[in-house]
Structure 1
Amino acid sequence: MKVAAPTSGRVTNRGRSLLVALPLMFGALAHAGTDSASTLAEQRAKAVTEVVLGILSYARWPVEPEQLRLCLVGPTEYADDLVKGTTQASGRPVAVRRLLANDPRIVTECDAMYLGQLSQDERTQLFSAVTGHPVLSISEANDPCTVGSVFCLRVSDQQVAFEVNLDSVARSGVRIHPSVLQLSRRRAAQP
């Protein structure tokens, strides 16, 4: 899957975040002015799915899984499309399942986690459990992209943006292709 050039972006020092915004495509109903809350929610869910699949396409695990296992943890707002399961542009299937934050299978049966609303204690315990295991984390909630979360989504009516926590990337055990940084640098260099 190709990730569209970002609409804004910045690269900051290590330990800070990379912000890359991707346009949210609206359907004909939204352009006609007849958008409803459910239509917007569906469009956001589809846009989030595109962004998550794009993020996953830039990730490399120490041992590449034939089927990528994405675990949804906590109540989510935009994961409806992800729950259906999907296939990456490379043809690799993505199996999606919901697990509780304290489920020990997260460490052994998840290549990536999509995190919804979790308490600070749940987040702390979850990230403590996956430390030392190659698990990529993507946070949906308005989280400050603190240590633990590798990618943090920012969803609005106009776009889906994400931040990358460079410290968490280094600790995750999952390599992120430099193209993610290059996309941002290229856009930030434009007038």
Structure 2
Amino acid sequence: MTSISHKKFEEVTISTRSVFQGRIISLQVDTVKLPNGSEATREIVKHPGAVAVLAITPDDRMLVVEQYRKPLEKSQIEIPAGKLEPGEKPENCARRELEEETGYTSASLQLLSSFYTSPGFADEIIHLYVAQGLTKGEAQPDEDEFLEIEAITLEQAQQYMAEGRISDAKTIMAIYAWQMYKLTGKF
């Protein structure tokens, strides 16, 4: 059953103007009609979507990668993640990204949650998976990716958060999911 509340306060698009078409994102400016009849503009970043993987090793460690993030002008420690290719299923993307970035393959992959990163200006959705039953292999990052792989404990993850070395939402969300799993035994 579909709820009509998802249309509450709907902004009807009057026109759309493309501003930028990039390799990963595009930017458009929409003119919209507000619920009160007024008009406004909305700057919208379009993104193909992405996956992120909370990968837990047999010795109860989380796989992370450290890489430089140009928008932040610093290195970050994050869980493996990547964008969806056109027509790619999120689960297949999660398996691919895990193997490319860490070398690991997974016997079990479970969707934890799908969430929007910044719905005020972007349509990017991230599908967060948990991977267990890992088998180690050889990482094969993309040619423009420079990564360092680490397997960390929950305590290390919390310390990295406190230090600001982990500060992205998907990784923080994964750490909290892992913490809940340790408390309840369920993802």
Same topology, TM > 0.5: no
Select the structure of larger CA radius of gyration: 2
Q: Which has the higher strand share?
A: 2
Q: Which has the higher helix share?
A: 1
After TM superposition, the score normalised by the length of structure 1 is: 0.26
Q: Report which structure shows greater RCO (CA 8 Å, sep ≥6).
A: 1
After TM superposition, the score normalised by the length of structure 2 is: 0.26
